[in-house]
Chain A
């Protein structure tokens, strides 16, 4: 391998960033398009819940197809593609090495996009596998897996050829995520499970996709960006490691808590509940580590476009995980299972945590890989506040409504339709939230496509640099 000499760290960073720009921009642009598609589907699905006749005559736009497609485009399109891009960038930074096999990675991304597009039409056409998070049939899912392979190879190659001896904590998380996602997909698609075991596998997969794929990538981003922007060192390296290994140890037991009350052996759900409670350990450890890093420089967090999103995400991670530990307990689950509460819980994970961290990371990465600057402060502000207010409205409305719904459903004297009627205002609030969030996404997309287009006018160079972003 050719060794390059650099006069300064800034020069090396610049070289590596510009070298990765083609790959990263492809991932981010794909993710961005899927985000807009997914947002549209979200609005359609949300409106159907309080206006049941809305688009009800067209079979491929019925709720049972639109809502799974919303999930799949967001998860395998927006979050996975953007997440993979962020992960690759973090590896170039922490290992100080350029991205290898770029052409193969780009080909992989094309195949991945084709697979997801075919899968989307299969879901709309009614060929879903009927399992949440695994609706995409084998025939197109295999294409997505093929698209992921170059990423695993690239990340392991980068680890092997790294220029830095010290392994920053983000590297642990990212390499683990690339390995884990293959283990998850292997179990989800290869063996032919049926009946109860299939249900168990389904939730094992769905829960782990969040916990062992998106969570590690986003924690890695937070671990890198917080000290980078604030200039404060991560409070404790040992706590970072403790957080990583306890996550690795406890997370993959959690999935069965989705089957409490279902026809699975008692010991299986019990172990899962215990492991869900144990998740308090990695979560509190990471929270303490992040919090004690930013304590005292919180003003910088508020001012920095990157950290605003990332710290919002990191705080949501703590919140959603502690909530998860609590709601896995049988007595709590008895109330909230099968209510809108759980939907909101999932969105704190996938939106308030994962998506917000990805937004923040993109605000940091884009000026570096394009050489351009964000051109409008107010667009960043609008994006942040629409996203933050939107998701908070979503969570508050559905979780309060959901708890009430749970108590009503547990009372056999109350007719089901009466409960449906009572939930209407909460579902309408969700549609308002969906519109706010989508507006934010459109503003972000506009900023994004502006920054890709080369524009070297002096005026555009002052938006984020004052904050060290």
Chain B
């Protein structure tokens, strides 16, 4: 490298700057410039290499340790690395705890945290037969969704509830039903997971959303 640089020292050299400057009208700024010095060839202090090696080591260990699995799954690190599978399974939630969890995650956006819904759009879950009555009908609303106009305690609603059957398991459907039937002032029986399973067996082939009239005809007659 030093040699390469030296070939050019002549061109970097300003010593031939001469008296004829005025002829070429060289201006002040160009004249007063120092030549660009040829680069040094030092190899650098030892601690620089220590820093480089340490950084390399840290980088590789970090990448290796937190790599996770090489797939499309988002953001699994915190689950797989901080708690083992076994630990997660050991935590057995009661039906009410699981139900409260699901309700907060899935249902409360529309039906509100207090279960009272929104007038005209999202039906209340308080003191209504849809919740406290026929268990299969309630499961059907959650699993396949519901649309159409209905009236509860003098208030009418015209909403469109999506089907949740694909997103939440039977166990979770039973849990959230139990939670709703025992919250917001409701006080009805727990829902065993078997009730949800028997609904799935009967209506397993169904893909359409329930319409209010059709729903009531199917379950109440």
Residues of A participating in the B interface, judged by any CB pair closer than 8 Å: 7-11, 13-14, 17, 93, 96, 163-166, 168-169, 196, 224, 227-229, 231-240, 261-267, 270-271, 273-275, 277-278, 280-281, 284-285, 288-289, 292, 330, 367-368, 371, 373, 461, 465, 468
Contacts and interface: CB of A to CB of B under 8 A. Distances in A.
Interface stretch (B66-74, B83-91, B113-121): B66-74
Main secondary structure of the interface of A (DSSP, over half): helix
A9 B7 CA distance: 15
Contact of A270 (B18, B24, B68): B68
B42 A224 contact: no
Given A237-B5, A267-B68, 18 more contacts: A10-B26, A10-B33, A165-B4, A168-B36, A227-B39, A262-B74, A265-B68, A265-B70, A270-B63, A270-B67, A271-B63, A277-B62, A278-B59, A281-B52, A367-B29, A368-B30, A371-B29, A465-B29
A180 to B, nearest CB: 22
B19 to A, nearest CB: 10
Contacts of A13: 30, 33
23 contacts: A9-B13, A14-B26, A163-B11, A166-B5, A196-B74, A233-B39, A233-B40, A234-B37, A234-B39, A238-B41, A238-B44, A240-B39, A263-B74, A266-B74, A267-B67, A267-B70, A270-B77, A271-B63, A277-B62, A285-B48, A368-B27, A465-B28, A468-B33
A237 B41 contact: yes
A35 B192 CA distance: 69
Contacts of A169: 39
Given A164-B8, A267-B67, A280 B32 contact: no
A236 to B, nearest CB: 4
Nearest to A266: B68
A322 to B, nearest CB: 11
B220 to A, nearest CB: 43
Interface of B: 1, 4-5, 7-8, 11-14, 16-18, 20-21, 24, 26-45, 48, 51-52, 55-56, 58-60, 62-63, 66-77
B206 to A, nearest CB: 30
Contacts of A229: 34
B59 A277 contact: yes
The CB with the most chain B CB atoms within 10 A, among A166, A234, A270, A292, is that of: A166
Given A164-B8, A264-B75, A278-B55, A233 B14 contact: no
Contact of A238 (B37, B43, B59, B71): B43
A233 B41 CA distance: 10
Contact of A228 (B33, B42, B70): B33
A266 B75 contact: yes
A441 B58 CA distance: 42
A271 B63 CA distance: 6
A231 B101 CA distance: 70
B20 A236 contact: no
Contacts, number: 175
Contacts of A224: 36
Nearest to A17: B30
A284 B51 CA distance: 8
A14 B62 contact: no
B44 A288 contact: yes
Nearest to B16: A8
Task: Return the 3 tightest CB-CB contacts between A and B, nearest first.
Answer: A266-B68, A233-B37, A237-B39
Contacts of B51: 280-281, 284
A87 B108 CA distance: 58
A166 B36 contact: no
Contacts of A7: 16, 18, 20, 24
A8 B16 CA distance: 5
Nearest to A374: B29
A10 B15 CA distance: 10
A203 B12 CA distance: 43
A92 to B, nearest CB: 13
A166 B9 CA distance: 10
Contacts of A288: 44-45, 48
Nearest to A229: B34
B74 to A, nearest CB: 4
Given A14-B27, A368-B29, A461-B28, A237 B55 contact: no
Given A166-B8, A264-B74, A266-B76, A237 B29 contact: no
